Amino acid sequence: MIEDPFSKGDSFLHQANPVVKIISAAALTLVVALSKSFIPVFAGLLVSLVLLASARLFCGTVFRRMAAINGFIVFLWITLPLTYGGDVPMSVGPFALSGDGVRLAALITLKSNAVFLFFVALLATSTVAELGHGMEALQVPPKLCFLILFLYRYIFVISAEYNRLARAARIRCFKPRTNLHTYKTYAHLFAMTLVKSWNRSQRVREAMLLRGFNGRFYPMRERTMTGHDRIFLAGMALTVIIIVLMGFI
């Protein structure tokens, strides 16, 4: 149900410092997401493809994920051209298509996909544990980092727990349909999952206190900035500046 297939690999991006990757991903996303013209967005898309290639992730999984995130985009393509209005409507059959609406939908499509690829190439190439420690290094509140690390640690456990209950329901011939019985069954399945999670959390808390937990996780490997990381960060900074400048052309 849940997996992170992109974090395994030995490319240059997989080995780069997570702190550097988080900063680069945030900066690139910011400039691409906020640009109003096509040229910087195209440049961003190009950069994202180069990053994807250097992470050696040109594979089916990436493009399947890409199709999945385009659901909202399809929805925008259906609604925006018909409802946006604007001065130069084109008409196709009985529908009046707004030129501005089509332009906006196209711009959003390119932006979203470029940002998706930044995400895959820069963030999904680190494990969540590495990202959590990277964020701690970036002065994100420790409690929030703890929450993220612990959430990641337990979603697999809780999802197995839920699946066990769901399997038991299926064995008892539970067939989901659109009726109150189905919703009540799902509610009880999930409520039972909550009860189990609650009891588990009490046990985990006690076990961790016994082992002297003081609110901090210690990574096995402390990351330091290497020469490669500095060069990569400088390259990314330069790319971001160039994309910003392209917006003024």
Partner 1 sequence: MHISEGVLSASVLAGGGALTVIGTTIGLKKLDYDRIMSVAILSSAFFVASLVHVPLGPGSVHLLLNGLMGLILGWTCFPAILAALFLQAVLFQFGGIIVLGVNTFNMAAPALLCSCFLRSSLSAPGFKGAAAAYAAGFFSVFLSSFCMALSLALTDQGFIKTAEIVVAANFPIMIIEGFITMFIVSFLTRVQPEILGMVRN
Please give the residues from 23 up to 42 whose contact with partner 1 meets the rule CB under 8 A: 25-26, 29-30, 32-34
Residue of the chain from 183, 225, 234, 242 that contacts partner 1 (CB under 8 A): 183
Tell me whether residue 87 or residue 227 sits nearer to partner 1 (CB atom). 87
Element (H, E) at 117: helix 99-118
Q: Minimum Å distance from CB 227 to partner 1?
A: 27
Task: Choose the stretch contacting partner 1; rule: CB under 8 A; options: 9-17, 47-55, 201-209, 230-238.
Answer: 201-209
Q: Minimum Å distance from CB 221 to partner 1?
A: 20
Rounded to the nearest 10°, the torsion over CA 99, 104, 109, 110 is 100
SS3 of residue 95 by DSSP = strand
Dist. CA 90–CA 176, nearest whole Å:
45
Query: Is 155 a binder of partner 1 (CB under 8 A)?
Result: yes
Dist. CA 229–CA 110, nearest whole Å:
28
Q: Minimum Å distance from CB 56 to partner 1?
A: 18
Tell me whether residue 209 or residue 231 sits nearer to partner 1 (CB atom). 209
The CA–CA distances, whole Å, from 180 to 183, 184, 185, 203 equal: 5, 6, 9, 35
